[in-house]
């Protein structure tokens, strides 16, 4: 199959300057709710980019769990590869690929750890199995096979039995503090609509970008 022949014409909608909300957060919230109501699978899934110490970029998918005017929050193991990379370079970009709506949202900024209190509040809201999994998995470390993971999970389950599971010291949240948003809406003939909000002198400057 010649994948060069795979094509899609984008015809669902457009995005005009007059359509945009005053703040990028308000625009994101509008699009997020529209994607959620459209029934998109895992609407909060986002790709996040980090950079290794040798300069090699790394990308993986995580889940957005909170957002407000302070930023966008996801949770992970603080010993994971992504956490180590963020400790070296706190700049990152995330991407929401809402492709069935012919939309993408890109957000770039600095990352900071959230407080233990915030992490604990979210951790206690997770299903018990997910709480146990946070203790059982040494994320990004090499394991010989899945049986090792299952055995560790059983040990952790036996350890806590029916008691309250505490927040692991090496698990918690990161907040991405946005400096740039880009809203992309597919259009016919590849003349897509792209609008960028860029933070300058504590104000958001909005520009239309060529596709």
Domains of the chain as residue ranges with CATH: 10-124+170-209 (2.30.110.10), 126-166 (no CATH)
Positions annotated as catalytic residues are: 190
Instruction: Specify whether the CB–CB gap between 193 and 185 falls below 8 A.
Output: yes
Distance CA 172, CA 166 (A): 12
Judged against a pLDDT cut of 90, whether residue 162 lies above it is answered with no
Task: Write down the pTM of the prediction.
Answer: 0.93
pLDDT of residue 34: 98
CB proximity list for 117: less than 8 A, separation 6 or greater: none
Please tell me the number of Cα atoms within 13 Å of 180 on its side-chain side: 13
Predicted confidence at residue 12, as pLDDT, reads 87
- The model's pLDDT over 125-154, given as tens digits with 9 standing for 90+, comes to 999 999 999 999 999 888 899 999 999 999
């Amino acid at each position: 199959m010649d994948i060069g022949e795979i094509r899609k014409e984008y015809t669902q909608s457009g995005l005009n300057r007059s359509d945009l909300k005053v703040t990028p957060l308000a625009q994101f919230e509008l699009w997020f709710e529209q994607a959620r109501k459209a029934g998109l699978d895992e609407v909060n899934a986002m790709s996040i980019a980090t950079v290794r110490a040798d300069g090699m970029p790394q990308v993986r998918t995580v889940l957005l769990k909170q957002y407000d005017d302070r930023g966008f929050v996801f949770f992970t193991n603080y010993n994971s590869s992504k956490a180590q990379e963020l400790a070296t370079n706190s700049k990152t970009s995330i991407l929401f690929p809402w492709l069935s709506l012919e939309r993408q949202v890109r957000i770039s900024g600095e990352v900071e750890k959230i407080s233990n209190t915030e992490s604990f509040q979210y951790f206690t809201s997770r299903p018990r199995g997910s709480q146990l999994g946070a203790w059982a998995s040494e994320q990004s470390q090499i394991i010989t096979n899945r049986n090792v993971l299952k055995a560790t999970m059983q040990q952790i389950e036996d350890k806590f039995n029916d008691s309250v599971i505490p927040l692991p010291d090496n698990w918690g949240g990161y907040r991405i503090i946005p400096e740039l948003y880009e809203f992309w809406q597919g259009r016919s003939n590849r003349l897509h609509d792209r609008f960028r909000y860029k933070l300058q002198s504590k104000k958001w400057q909005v520009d239309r970008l060529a596709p």
